[in-house]
Amino acid sequence: MERPFPTVAVVGLGTMGAGVAVAVARSGRRVIGIEADEEQAARALARIQEATAYAVTRERLTPEERTALLDLISVGHALEAAADADLVVEEVPEQLELKRELFAELDRICPPETVLATGTTALSVTRIAAATARPERVLGLHFFNPVHTMKLVEVVRTVLTSPQVAEDAAGFARDLGKEPVAAGDRAGFVVNGLLFAYLNQAAAMYESKYATREDIDAAMRLGCGLPMGPLALLDLIGVDTARTVLEAMYEQSRDRLHAPAPILGQLVSAGLLGRKSGRGFYTYAAPGSSRPVDAADGPALPKVPGRTVRTVGVCGSGTMATGIAEVFAKAGRPVLLAARSQEKADKAKAQLARSLERSVTRGRLSAEQRDAALALVTPVGQYGELAEVDLVVEAVAEDLAVKRELFATLDEIVKPGAVLATTTSSLPVISCASATSRPQDVIGMHFFNPAPAMKLVEVVSTVLTAPDVTATVLELCAEVRKHPVECGDRAGFIVNALLFPYLNDAVRMLQEHYATVDDIDTAMKLGCGYPMGPFELLDVVGLDVSLTIEQVLHQEFREPGLAAAPLLEHLVAAGCLGRKTGRGFRDHARR
């Protein structure tokens, strides 16, 4: 097959256009670069020369390749030059009228078969196409910044784009070494549509003073393995850009979750646009710098002294209980691992031993450390043995009645002054606390699975938790090498309240046939550097577990946009729960 689009015009050679011009020339195609005027054209050429010279110093290009590449690029300021191109890629500033006028001109200048592509992030491709008499040959090609490293390209079809044109554009993207994903014309397309709703919720969470900016960012990095926290990412993207994208999303969806958080507007009005202006959610060393100067280094320090914790009791015999017992034992604390029967407790300790053994095999733990940790764990078959411990961490079934009964029992057994913690992910901590006569001593310690590996612990204080109890848990987390973040007792805490609405949005995108499972997963991994796509993650977490969390979030906040996507409910009803049943969004059994 012939290579699609041997000659490409790029109109607008700023951040994106210059990157696209170089990527296209690298594929051996002729590039006609067009800028607004002579001066801009000279500057753009200098930018391309500099960028490619830098690529040579970084050994991404040889000097010969650079010369050959530059020979393929011409830069001028006459739009008429686009008449020689098979494809025109527009990368001018994000203004609808500017783009529409440009497309009307290009339509007049270019032969009828020329394909016209817009690089818009948030404007309607359909409205841009409507400025031409060839909407079937107009589409969006959404590259990511920086173009030379980001492999993703969203190929955006309007209802009028010819399928052949979209296919050729995808082939062209592949030829540039990129990975194209197909998207329809909707504000934000796949990546930004999912990303910005989440960033907006994080900004709103910060604005409501539910948690500090450092804690929100650390929670998402450490709890979900994201490359950056959401507030640091907003600073990188630009608070103004984020607000513009969200405005466009809201205009189309009328979903309040897309209405830009008021704090974004305040920052924009104050000129605090993020890294580029030297200050946004954080303050940076200088405009353009990536080094924040006012961010706290580690976890927040307790404001009052905590209580002394020498011994720990862990209730439960499942994955979380044994994982948490392992965390404390490895940090040198004596642990009573308490289950409903001695047999269950013994089994839990055996599981803990296997986990330690795996660490030894992988070279993460010495045999002496394994033996020392194991010796610190005593399995007990009744809760009565917990009378003298300083902290109890409860990790029994996620069922309020079961947890309340356990807290009532602990209240009778455990010595006064001990801290009682629940690991619940979706139940109110205060409901556990109110089952006791000492709610001031009750707190949430939300560990992540697998507890020995995941550094994050959400420390959840209720309205009744005593400050020295919060301090005790913050100090203890640091001592056992976990990273605590502080938050209040509301549904989803930090991580799940930000993660699950995003996962739900992805399911809704699929349900609306906007994009496929594979395209959405690929787009989020390549476009945002996420370790897993949303459907991979849902299949691992379990669709039933995810549905429960989404229902709890919806019940708490009553936002219509948080209602669980019907597709998720249907899959759960059909018993497709993800990896554990062999089928969820993907069929794992057949692999």
Ligand X SMILES: NC(=O)c1ccc[n+]([C@@H]2O[C@H](COP(=O)([O-])OP(=O)(O)OC[C@H]3O[C@@H](n4cnc5c(N)ncnc54)[C@H](O)[C@@H]3O)[C@@H](O)[C@H]2O)c1
Binding site for ligand X (CB under 6 A): 11-17, 34-36, 40, 91-94, 102, 119-121, 142-145
Cβ 549 to ligand X, closest distance in Å? 32
93 vs 163, which CB is nearer to ligand X?
93
Residue tagged 């100067």 (tokens):
293
Residue 13 or 568 having the CB closest to ligand X:
13
- Please list the alpha-helical segments (H only) found in 58-85: 63-72
Whether 52 contacts 65, CB under 8 Å: no
For residue 88, the number of C-alpha atoms closer than 13 Å in the C-beta half-sphere is: 30
Query: Which lies closer to ligand X via its Cβ, residue 97 or residue 113?
Result: 97
- Of the two residues 48 and 314, which places its CB atom closer to ligand X in the complex? 48
Residue nearest to ligand X as judged by C-beta position: 14
The DSSP code for 565 is P
C-alpha–C-alpha distance, residues 119 and 129, integer Å:
12
Query: CB of 156: closest distance to ligand X in angstroms?
Result: 11
Interatomic CA distance for residues 316 and 340, integer angstroms: 8
Query: Are residues 107 and 131 in contact, defined by beta-carbon separation less than 8 angstroms?
Result: yes
Cα end-to-end span (Å), the chain: 32
Residue with tokens 């029992």: 409
State the nearest-atom distance from the C-beta of 148 to ligand X, in Å. 13
User: Which of 145, 449 has the CB closer to ligand X?
Assistant: 145
Beta carbon of residue 12, minimum distance to ligand X (angstroms, whole number): 3
Q: What is the DSSP letter of 182?
A: E
> What b-and-e string marks burial along 9-43, b requiring 16 or more CB atoms within 10 Å of the CB?
bbbbbbebbbbbbbbbbbbebbbbbbbbeeebbeb
In sequence order, the 6+-apart residues with CB closer than 8 A to the CB of 131 are 99, 100, 101, 103, 104, 107
Paired residues of 31 in beta bridges? 8, 73
* Six-digit token string for 392: 């109890």
CA atoms within 13 A on the CB side of 570: 7
Shortest reach from residue 72's CB to ligand X, in Å: 19
Nearest CB to ligand X, comparing residues 191 and 336: 191
Nearest-approach distance from CB 95 to ligand X, in angstroms: 8
Provide DSSP, 522-584: HHHHHHH--SS-HHHHHHHH-HHHHHHHHHHHHHHH--GGGSPPHHHHHHHHTT--BGGGTBS
- Specify the residue, 23 or 538, whose C-beta has the smaller distance to ligand X: 23
> Which is closer to ligand X, CB of 38 or CB of 399?
38
CB 241 within 8 A of CB 209: no
Which residues sit opposite 139 in a β-bridge? 117
Question: How does strand 179-184 pair with strand 312-315?
Answer: unpaired
The SS3 of residue 456 is: strand
Instruction: Give the shortest CB-191-to-ligand X separation in angstroms.
Output: 10
Q: Would you say how long the chain is, in residues?
A: 591
**Which is nearer to ligand X, 169 or 338 (by Cβ)?**
169
| Closer CB to ligand X, 35 or 475, in the complex | 35
Do the beta carbons of residue 580 and residue 540 sit within 8 Å? Answer: no
* CA 158 – CA 182 distance, rounded (Å): 11
Considering beta carbons, is residue 114 or 422 the nearer one to ligand X?
Answer: 114
In the complex, the smallest distance separating the C-beta of residue 293 from ligand X, rounded to whole angstroms, is 24
Return left, alpha or beta for 197; rule: phi > 0 is left, psi -120 to 50 is alpha, else beta.
Answer: alpha
Contact between 202 and 501 (Cβ < 8 Å): no
Minimum gap (Å) between residue 91 Cβ and ligand X: 4
Q: 193 or 439: whose CB is closer to ligand X?
A: 193
Least Å from the CB of residue 169 to ligand X: 16
- Closest separation in Å from C-beta 265 to ligand X: 19
Least distance to ligand X, CB of residue 118, Å: 7
